[in-house]
Amino acid sequence: MFTYDSMIDAVQNSKKQFVKTFVTNETIATNLTKFIDAQADYTKAAVKVTNDTTNAIAKEMIKSMQEATKFDYTKFGEGIMKAYQSNFSQK
């Protein structure tokens, strides 16, 4: 998460520097800086939620795969054979 935050801060700081350099009206510069800060906060929150969601999905997929490997194929095969044999014994 640190790398995302630092990348977001780098982009937003460059925007702020642009505003400081080229916007001469103090009121507009202040409002643009507030807007840039709001963008940074939103983007960081969106990245965090996306990262958390992706991690949760990955953990659940791993858990599902581990559960699938616990399946007892021997018992399943025995059940199929019993059903198959009983099907033929009825004919």
User: What does the DSSP assignment read for 69-89?
Assistant: HT--HHHHHHHHHHHHHHHHH
Other beta carbons within 10 angstroms of residue 53's beta carbon come to 10
Q: Which residues form the domain of 57?
A: 2-89
- Model confidence over 3-45: pLDDT tens digits? 899 999 999 999 999 999 999 999 999 999 999 999 999 999 9
Q: What is the pLDDT of residue 90?
A: 61
Mean pLDDT value across residues 40-51:
96
Angle (CA) 55 58 59, round 5°: 85
d(CA 45, CA 8): 11
Mean pLDDT value across residues 48-59:
96
How many domains, the chain? 1
Least confident of 5-9, 44-48, 58-62, 71-75: 71-75
Cβ atoms of 19 and 29 within 8 Å: the answer is: yes
